[in-house]
């Protein structure tokens, strides 16, 4: 099951019209409008669950008096839920900036703010054969190739950018190290976790030896992290051309091309609490210290895109 803060569910409910929100005085700025918004609903990538639930959400409520209610899924699943009308959040936070823009611009929003990057690698249980070999210095791709079926977990690439980034990494590693057939074999043998927030649960319980994760996720769970080389960890914009050599097409026909990891956030035009949503995005995208402390990379961020409201830009 997805992680849900305070059992809050973003189900259909009465919509606040955009005109009503504007006439309420948005031009006066966010601070003057927050009294009407005592909570904000956030639908976010699963890799942000600990950041929002355990750190940012509590800090945000302490500073503003606004309760933060979060739900977390793979970003592809998040976009489907919004587009299908299954979820009605105020704020959407994506682990793939292009995916949010491709899926939500036009019908749901006209802006976003990019706020962080990350790196992909392997979190592992050190008391397993997989972990012992990594710690002994064996090449990760040799360890992965020798692992039993299901020992290595990846997020479902049809539901989550972390999943298709794992496949991208396998394909780039195959090229980088001359490993004929490696990517297909490791992808086929990996366990596909449909709920990104649960990706490391199997490693923690002993059902899996390792999982392909973002750096911050390993830190969140107190697990050792074996980083991939920058040539395929999707952390370094200097390797953008190399990342773009691979792609993955999801079961619904969306083709994700390899690219540096960029997280972004927006407030939906249909938000029930748009002012609180904009204040939450401002807080998320300008708290670089907290993001760095929890394993994200913030150099060069935040970056506005589209028609970003002035109150969100201010920091």
pLDDT tens series, the chain, 315 aa = 343 333 344 554 433 333 233 333 333 333 333 335 799 999 999 999 999 999 999 999 999 999 999 999 999 999 999 999 999 999 999 999 999 999 999 999 999 999 999 999 999 999 999 999 999 999 999 999 999 999 999 999 999 999 999 999 999 999 999 999 999 999 999 999 999 999 999 999 999 999 999 999 999 999 999 999 999 999 999 999 999 999 999 999 999 999 999 999 999 999 999 999 999 999 999 999 999 999 999 999 999 999 999 889 754
Q: What is the CATH number of domain 120-257?
A: 3.40.190.10
CB-based contact 156:206 (threshold 8 Å): no
Question: CA angle 3-212-176, nearest 5°?
Answer: 155
Q: Which ranges of the chain would DSSP assign to H, the alpha helix?
A: 18-23, 49-50, 57-64, 75-83, 97-104, 129-135, 140-146, 161-177, 182-189, 201-205, 215-220, 240-243, 274-286, 288-293, 310-313
CB-based contact 243:64 (threshold 8 Å): no
If you search the block for the tokens 């109150």, which residue do you land on? 311
Q: What is the CATH number of domain 5-117+262-313?
A: 3.40.190.10
**And the tokens for 234?**
């999707």
- Report pTM: 0.88
Look at strands 91-94 and 303-306 and give their pairing.
unpaired
Burial of 95 from C-beta contacts in 10 A (0-12 / 13-18 / 19+): buried
pLDDT value at residue 311: 83
pLDDT value at residue 36: 54
User: What gap in Å lies between CA 171 and CA 107, rounded to an integer?
Assistant: 34
Within the chain, all domains assigned CATH 3.40.190.10 are found at 5-117+262-313, 120-257
If you search the block for the tokens 């006066």, which residue do you land on? 28
Neighbours of 112 (CB within 10 A): 27
């Amino acid at each position: 099951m997805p992680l849900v803060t305070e059992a809050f569910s973003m189900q259909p409910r009465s919509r606040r019209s955009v005109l009503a929100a504007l006439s309420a005085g948005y031009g006066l700025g966010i601070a003057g409008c927050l009294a009407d918004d005592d909570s904000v609903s956030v639908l976010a990538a699963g890799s942000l669950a600990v950041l929002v639930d355990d750190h940012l959400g509590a800090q945000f409520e302490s500073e503003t008096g606004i309760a933060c209610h979060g739900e977390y899924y793979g970003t592809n699943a998040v976009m489907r839920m919004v587009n299908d009308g299954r979820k009605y959040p105020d704020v959407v936070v994506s682990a793939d900036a292009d995916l949010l823009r491709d899926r939500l611009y036009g019908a749901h929003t006209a802006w976003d703010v990019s706020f962080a990057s990350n790196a992909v690698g392997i979190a592992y249980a050190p008391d397993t054969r997989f972990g012992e070999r990594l710690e002994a210095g064996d090449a990760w791709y040799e360890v992965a190739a020798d692992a039993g079926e299901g020992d290595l977990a990846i997020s479902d690439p049809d539901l989550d950018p972390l999943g298709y980034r794992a496949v991208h990494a396998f394909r780039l590693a195959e090229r980088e190290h001359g490993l004929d057939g490696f990517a297909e074999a490791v992808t086929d043998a990996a366990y596909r976790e449909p709920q990104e927030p649960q990706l490391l649960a199997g490693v923690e319980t002993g059902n899996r030896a390792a999982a392909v994760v973002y750096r911050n996720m390993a830190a969140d769970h107190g697990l050792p992290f074996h980083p991939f080389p920058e040539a395929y960890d999707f952390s370094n914009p200097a390797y953008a051309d190399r990342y773009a050599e691979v792609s993955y097409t999801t079961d619904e026909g969306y083709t994700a091309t390899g690219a540096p990891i960029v997280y972004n956030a927006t407030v939906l035009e249909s938000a029930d609490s748009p002012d609180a949503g904009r204040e939450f995005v401002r807080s998320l995208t300008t708290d670089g210290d907290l993001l760095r402390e929890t394993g994200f990379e913030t150099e060069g961020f935040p970056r506005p895109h589209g028609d970003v409201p002035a109150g969100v830009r201010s920091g």
